[in-house]
Amino acid sequence: MKPSSHWKNIVNFAMFGLTGLCALVSVGTLVFILGYLVFNGGKSLSMSFFTNLPAPVGEVGGGMANALLGSGKVLLLATLIGIPIGFLGGVYLSEYSGKTIAFVIRYVTDLLNGVPSIVIGIVVYTLVVHPMGHFSTFAGGVALGIMMIPISVRSTEEYLLAVPPSLREAAFALGAPKWKAIITVVIPAAMRGIISGTMLDLARVAGETAPLLFTALGNQFWSPGWNQPSATLPVMIFTYAIAPYEDWHRQAWAAGFVLLMLVLLINVTARMALSKGSYVPRG
Amino acid sequence: MKRSSLYLVVATLACAAAAAGLSLTGAGATFPYPMYSKWFSDYHKLHGDLEINYQSIGSGGGIKQVTEGTVDFGATDGPMNDTQLAEFKQKRGCDVLHFPTVMGAVVPTYNIPGVTGELNLTPEALAGIFLGKITKWNDAEIAKANPGVKLPGDDIVVVHRSDGSGTTYVWVDFLSKVSPEWKTKVGVGTSVNWPVGLGGKGNEGVSGQIKQTPNSIGYVELIYAVQNKLPYGKVRNASGAFIKAELASVTAAASGAAANMPADFRVSITNAPGKTAYPISSFTWLLIPSKIQDPAKQKAVKDFLQWMLGPGQKMAEPLSYAQLPTPVIAMELKAISKIQ
Amino acid sequence: MATTPVLGERALPPGGARSFLMRLRGGEEIAYTITFTAAAAIFVITALICYELFAQSEISRHKFGWAFLFTSEWDPVAGKFGALPFIYGTVITSVLALLIAIPQGIGSAIFLAEMAPARISNALTFLIELLAAVPSVIYGLLGVFILVPVLQKSVVPALKSVFGALPIFQGAFYGVSYFSAGIVLSVMIVPFIISVSREVLISVPRDQREASLALGASKWQTVWLVVVPNASTGIMGSIFLALARALGETMAVTMVIGNTPQIKASLLAPGYSIAAVIANEFTEATGDLYLSALIELGLVLFGVTFVLNGLARILIMATAQKGAHS
């Protein structure tokens, strides 16, 4: 008994050390990236970054205020389009659908997820920008919204399926119809995971550049409403990073840092606001 | 939570308030983006009710979008060909006018251990290297133009642009003019089938690769080389002189071509005549439809072009762009009246 | 379970539509219809994208036919286009990225779900999820400025000295390569694996763990033999998410892969991927055949995704003990 439990302990310790190392590598990478962005872009992070419009080369005091707002608007529209479709689709897959339809929809969702972002941009250009006759924030939101769907579907479905059958059965035993059981018991039980999936989704599209190039294009000025081309953080980062000027490079790094902070902020706020009081079936 | 979402809705609606004044959108070449963003920003300071928004999505994108009518004007580093002109006419019902704005150049940049000065590169050497025919740095073709420089016997690593670009267009246009073999084997385009070499994305991809790879050579925009302090070589021009790319030598290339400038300004000035001309220079153009329906937009465009050809030109050199030569400016001022 | 509500049937007129209305008032029909519409919308959107790709690539498809998939030449000036090197590069880099990201991701998820205290686990997961938000172009720049020199100076020489005889590590290394692209991709896709896997691991019911521990298993044995298998479908799902992201990634890949349309066995050679070439050439491409060929590449990627997903699912079904659904 003793030698084998000793060996078990060694394995125990070693494996957890190994997995801890894995986690450390990932976290370390992120910290490194953040540090790099701050180190290289820190000089550009002043008040003017958040309040001013972009300035041409050689002029100081340029900022990315319009890109911040533009990103906010585009992401808002993307969330309003992508999350409802994704969430409800995920509910359908996990609660209502038969095996064959579920297989097909899952496969199709994975296909959609694999479409390169630039191709989504090209398609939305053909379907939205071209008929409208001009680039717009709206088109950008549509493109990013489509990109949000697959992750939302898959994560919603996974977390709903992970809810133990005993919870559903308890609800039915109390006389709830299926839809009521889903809304009042199953979804709240999975809510924590669903929010996590949504935030991951949002994070992913927040950094996408290629689809916006063909839909929202970009703008040096403010873009009122939803019908005009609009500046967004990722496109600004892209434009500035590939330019020859050191000053613009710094702004690109700074913008990268701001983008990450924006996503972090949305993440923290959403989790605090939405997951209060939800049941967490902690194992 | 409910209240904050209400504020968000109100804020968004507030943004939906209509913009005062006129707004023009243009898209196209990346090369002149810094210049155009300066021009449009300064012009906006002069005319507060006019916003000209220019975005760099590539010359091809510029041509496409102005043809589709999703932007008011386009910009390109390589002139539109006849097929594209015909397509524009068919889709938009009028002609498209080319207006050269500034000039730039493409320079050969390299990283050869032990070589610190400027190399003299002949057109034959460049063509041979990029065709994969000349494989070592101490090849006779390179050595004979550089007496006194110790060139290693190592393999040359070629780096080219992977993304389609006007820079590539100018570079291969030059190679096609000086090397019949290049012309037949590879040809001219914003993207070509490179016989050898690694592809770097953008100027920074090429220069980054070169910095890290000993014995490498590639091409980048002059501005990029200047701003990032990259070493670049001299190229022999059509008159036989080895010229370093500088603003003066670039403008000289355009002056040489000005004598034979076609009325529509679609001309390639690579390998231009002139003793001081830098042979790998190029115009960059704005693409303006010849018919602009909206009278306010039409006036705005015409006024801007006049300003661009006057005070605008003075802003070019501080940003490392070369000004247009005077005869070309004069021709363009006359051409503005073609916009109806 | 009866779902029709108990309403006064006298109050409602008879008829088929009315019976639908009756069920509608119970909510079941609404719930089903709404969710079904959403799922159908996904199908419609994907089909629409597929259709657009099909329609816009017509010129190229007619010109090259199936040979497009097997030819290697990519010459925009001469109008000759072939997809093979791009297909190869896409598959190689994605597979390499998965080979790195799966153990790394699952390992991290296990640590975060089972080992770390809840607060630390949450905080660390926040940070890791931020990795998904880093714009692709920044990953590319970091790859060029940091990863490639490190690989060139230290990692690859070490690899070559140990494994140099293998064909996958042959040849000169210029920094940009399948290898670099695979590594950058793995960093980009690992947050998806970690985030989703951690959540499903956490949601495995407590009684499962307690039963295992009660039988005398160590914590690690419990995790590896009980918890992880319970969460396996979720983990598989996260791997599919990661695979899809790897296949479609554009900017970061194009900055570190070398953008050379060729097929080489060595991971150290430069290559090209479908998404990268579309990103590089689409904005500048003029000419209907050229544009059409690029769009056809997008269609080909659809096909590659289809096939890879299918292969992965077959693999799962073959190795799954339980009736794990796809």
Q: What is the pLDDT of residues C277-310, one digit of tens each?
A: 998 888 878 778 888 999 999 999 988 888 888 8
Q: Quick check: C256 contacting A, CB < 8 Å?
A: no
Residue pLDDT, tens place only, A125-171: 999 998 998 999 999 999 999 999 999 998 899 888 888 888 889 98
Residue C234 confidence (pLDDT) = 85
The yes-or-no verdict on residue C128 having pLDDT over 50 is yes
CB A233 within 8 A of CB A144: no
Residue A3 confidence (pLDDT) = 60
Residue B3 confidence (pLDDT) = 58
Residue A283 confidence (pLDDT) = 38
Checking DSSP bridges between strand B216-221 and strand B96-111, what pairing results, if any?
Answer: antiparallel
8 Å CB contact of A58 and B318: yes
CB–CB contacts below 8 A, B to C:
93
More confident residue, C316 or C101: C101
d(CA B251, CA C113): 65
Residue A233 confidence (pLDDT) = 93
8 Å CB contact of C326 and A259: no
DSSP code per residue over C250-310: -HHHHHHS-------S-TTS----HHHHHHHHTTT--SHHHHHHHHHHHHHHHHHHHHHHH
Nearest of A261, A205, A268 to residue A64 by alpha carbon: A261
What's phi and psi for A209, nearest 5 deg? Answer: -105, -55
B109 to B149, B153, B232, B277, C146: CA distances (angstroms): 16, 19, 4, 19, 22
Report the residue from B157, B208, B213 with minimal CB separation from C144. Answer: B208
Helix (H) or strand (E) holding B25: strand B22-28
pTM, rounded to two decimals: 0.84
Report the residue from C108, C218, C283 with minimal CB separation from A26. Answer: C108
d(CA A245, CA A241): 9
8 Å CB contact of A116 and C275: yes
CB contacts, 8 Å: A147 with chain C: none
Question: Which chains share 3+ C-beta pairs under 8 angstroms with A?
Answer: B, C
Question: Which chains share 3+ C-beta pairs under 8 angstroms with C?
Answer: A, B
Query: Please, is B265 exposed, middle or buried when counting C-beta atoms within 10 Å of its C-beta (0-12, 13-18, 19+)?
Result: middle
How many CB atoms within 10 Å of residue B5?
10
Residue C15 to chain B, least CA–CA distance (Å) = 43
The yes-or-no verdict on residue A189 having pLDDT over 70 is yes
Q: Quick check: C192 contacting A, CB < 8 Å?
A: yes
d(CA B273, CA B253): 7
Q: Quick check: C176 contacting B, CB < 8 Å?
A: yes
For residue B76, the cross-strand partners are: B285
Residue A48 confidence (pLDDT) = 84
Measured in whole angstroms, how far is the alpha carbon of residue B2 from the centre of its chain? 52
How big is chain C by its Cα radius of gyration, in Å?
25
Instruction: Report residue C203 as tokens.
Output: 């949601």
Nearest of A106, A120, A198 to residue A152 by alpha carbon: A198
Report the residue from A37, A123, A172 with minimal CB separation from C1. Answer: A172
Give the mean pLDDT of chain B.
88
Residue of A nearest to C230 (CA): A162
8 Å CB contact of A112 and C45: yes
8 Å CB contact of B212 and C283: no
pLDDT-derived band at B2 (thresholds 50, 70, 90) equals low
Q: At what angle do helices C84-110 and A2-41 cross, to 10 degrees?
A: 120
**Which three-class secondary structure state does DSSP give residue B108?**
strand
Q: Quick check: C72 contacting A, CB < 8 Å?
A: no
The yes-or-no verdict on residue C324 having pLDDT over 50 is no
Residue B7 confidence (pLDDT) = 54
Residue B14 confidence (pLDDT) = 47
CB B340 within 8 A of CB B292: yes
pLDDT-derived band at B18 (thresholds 50, 70, 90) equals very low
Residue B67 to chain C, least CA–CA distance (Å) = 11
Please compute, for residue C233, the number of CA atoms within 13 A of its CA located in the half-sphere on the CB side.
20
CB contacts, 8 Å: B26 with chain A: none
8 Å CB contact of C284 and B59: yes
Q: Quick check: A218 contacting B, CB < 8 Å?
A: yes
Q: Quick check: C34 contacting A, CB < 8 Å?
A: yes
The yes-or-no verdict on residue A177 having pLDDT over 50 is yes
Residue pLDDT, tens place only, B23-71: 999 999 888 888 998 999 999 999 999 999 999 888 888 898 999 999 9
Report the residue from B60, B201, B212 with minimal CB separation from C285. Answer: B60
CB contacts, 8 Å: C136 with chain A: 117, 207-210
For residue B97, the cross-strand partners are: B288
8 Å CB contact of C77 and B189: yes
pLDDT-derived band at A194 (thresholds 50, 70, 90) equals confident
How many CB atoms within 10 Å of residue A129?
26
**Which three-class secondary structure state does DSSP give residue A186?**
helix
Residue A104 confidence (pLDDT) = 92
The backbone region for B263, taken as left when phi is positive above 0, alpha when psi lies in -120 to 50, beta otherwise, is alpha
How many CB atoms within 10 Å of residue A60?
9
Instruction: Report residue A232 as tokens.
Output: 């967004």
d(CA C64, CA B198): 27
Percent of all residues in chain A with a pLDDT value above 70, rounded to a whole number: 95
Q: Quick check: C100 contacting A, CB < 8 Å?
A: no
pLDDT-derived band at B99 (thresholds 50, 70, 90) equals very high
Q: Quick check: C157 contacting B, CB < 8 Å?
A: no
Provide the b/e sequence for C35-60 (b: ≥16 CB within 10 Å).
Answer: bbebbebbbebbeebbebbeebbebb
User: Once rounded to an integer, what is the mean pLDDT over residues C103-115?
Assistant: 92
Report the residue from B53, B204, B224 with minimal CB separation from A229. Answer: B53
Give the mean pLDDT of chain A.
87
Residue of B nearest to C290 (CA): B191
The yes-or-no verdict on residue A40 having pLDDT over 90 is no
Residue B45 to chain C, least CA–CA distance (Å) = 31
CB contacts, 8 Å: A256 with chain C: 134-135, 138
CB B172 within 8 A of CB B77: no
